[in-house]
């Protein structure tokens, strides 16, 4: 007779719990899908950051840590204390203006001359050196970072990931059952040549929340409009440096118009002085060495 020890029973208990959770989540998904005919056609509430998501906050944190390790193998992180503390300060200030903070956010600068920044699940943000070089003020840099932070706040990454790859695969990644696949997905979404593309409604929500976050944290959101305008001009001068940003963030005039309309509705306020000297010092350092 084979005796199952307590360790074995515990493991089975954990696995049994997981299976139950999966069943519950599938049941929820089926229920939500059955509701689709009733909810389509309703206007999207841009402030609603709690869209349906099969992945729990804790699962997203775990997935984010795994993805971050992969991303940092595939990109060269700028490991300079001065640059790190600057980007932490900037990110920390923006976080004072977000709707909700579910994650322990991290901010890193990566060596890449293209103009871009990206968020991975679990609140890990990466800023390309090319974006710092292209910005002429901290407010402009904050504008792009604010948009990206809000992809994380509204948990667009895990929603997109489950849509694109299916819940079963994401669950396998979470359980650590498929490390090679995790590396491949990280490369195709967040690697050097990778591209995470969100839906149009996610993009416009990240703009909407991005403006609100800038406003709340004391950055003039008009910086988003001016920087988008500059990026459009850069597209003509140096298209390859901006291809990735434009393919994931089409800067249509509609998009800039809606940002402008949202700003016009905000009560006027005095803006905290832009952190010009720190920004220029860090930018000069990046231009010189990266
Ligand atoms: Zn975006």
- Taking the C-alpha atoms of residue 127 and residue 167, their distance in angstroms, rounded to an integer, is 29
Cα-to-centroid distance, 127 and ligand 1 (Å): 13
Q: Per the structure block, which two tokens stand in for 53? A: 């998501």
Q: Give strand pairing partners of 119.
A: 125
Domain ranges, ordered by start, for the chain: 44-289
Instruction: Give CA 262 to chain center in angstroms.
Output: 21
Check: CB of residue 110 under 8 Å from CB of residue 127. yes
pLDDT of residue 21: 58
Distances (CA, A) of 247 to 33, 143, 203, 243: 30, 18, 12, 6
Please provide residue 77's backbone torsions phi and psi, each rounded to the nearest 5 degrees.
-80, 135
Cα-to-centroid distance, 172 and ligand 1 (Å): 26
pLDDT of residue 123: 98
- Taking the C-alpha atoms of residue 131 and residue 90, their distance in angstroms, rounded to an integer, is 14
Cα-to-centroid distance, 285 and ligand 1 (Å): 27
Cα-to-centroid distance, 171 and ligand 1 (Å): 25
Check: CB of residue 80 under 8 Å from CB of residue 132. no
Cα-to-centroid distance, 289 and ligand 1 (Å): 28
Q: Per the structure block, which two tokens stand in for 175? A: 């359980």
pLDDT of residue 34: 42
Cα-to-centroid distance, 147 and ligand 1 (Å): 6
Cα-to-centroid distance, 277 and ligand 1 (Å): 28
Q: Per the structure block, which two tokens stand in for 121? A: 């699940």
pLDDT of residue 25: 58
- Taking the C-alpha atoms of residue 115 and residue 244, their distance in angstroms, rounded to an integer, is 8
Per-residue model confidence as pLDDT tens for the chain (290 residues): 333 333 333 444 444 555 555 555 555 555 554 444 333 334 568 998 887 899 999 999 999 999 999 999 999 999 999 999 999 999 999 999 999 999 999 999 999 999 999 999 999 999 999 999 999 999 999 999 999 999 999 999 999 999 999 999 999 999 988 889 999 999 999 988 788 889 889 999 999 999 999 999 999 999 999 998 888 888 888 888 887 787 777 777 788 999 999 999 999 998 877 889 999 999 999 999 99
Cα-to-centroid distance, 187 and ligand 1 (Å): 18
Q: Please give the order of strands across the beta sheet that includes 117-120.
A: 106-110, 124-128, 117-120
* Helices 179-190 and 156-165: angle between axes, nearest 10 degrees: 120
Read off the pTM: 0.84
Cα-to-centroid distance, 119 and ligand 1 (Å): 9
Cα-to-centroid distance, 126 and ligand 1 (Å): 13
Cα-to-centroid distance, 206 and ligand 1 (Å): 6
Cα-to-centroid distance, 262 and ligand 1 (Å): 17
């Amino acid at each position: 007779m084979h005796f199952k020890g307590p360790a074995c029973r515990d493991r089975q208990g954990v696995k049994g719990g997981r299976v139950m959770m999966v069943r519950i989540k599938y049941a929820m998904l089926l229920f939500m899908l059955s509701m689709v005919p009733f909810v389509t056609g309703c206007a999207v509430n841009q402030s609603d950051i709690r869209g349906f998501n099969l992945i729990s906050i804790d699962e997203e944190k775990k997935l984010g840590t795994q993805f971050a390790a992969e991303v940092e193998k595939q990109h060269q992180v700028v490991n300079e204390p001065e640059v790190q503390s600057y980007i932490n300060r900037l990110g920390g200030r923006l976080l004072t203006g977000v709707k909700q903070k579910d994650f322990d956010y991290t901010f890193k600068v990566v060596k890449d001359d293209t103009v871009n920044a990206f968020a991975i699940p679990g609140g890990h943000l990466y800023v390309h050196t090319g974006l710092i070089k292209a910005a002429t003020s901290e407010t402009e840099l904050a504008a792009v970072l604010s948009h990206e932070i809000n992809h994380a706040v509204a948990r667009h990454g895990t929603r997109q990931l489950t849509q694109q790859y299916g819940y079963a695969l994401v669950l396998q990644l979470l359980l650590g059952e498929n490390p090679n696949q995790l590396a491949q997905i990280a490369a195709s979404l967040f690697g050097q040549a990778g591209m995470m593309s969100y839906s149009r409604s996610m993009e416009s929500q990240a703009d909407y929340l991005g403006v609100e976050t800038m406003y709340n944290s004391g950055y003039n959101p008009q910086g988003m409009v001016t920087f988008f305008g500059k990026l459009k001009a850069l597209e003509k001068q140096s298209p390859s440096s901006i291809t990735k940003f434009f393919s994931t963030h089409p800067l249509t005039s509609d998009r800039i118009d809606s940002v402008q309309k949202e700003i016009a509705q905000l009560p006027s306020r005095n803006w905290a002085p832009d952190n010009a000297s720190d920004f220029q010092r860090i930018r000069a350092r990046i231009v010189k060495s990266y």
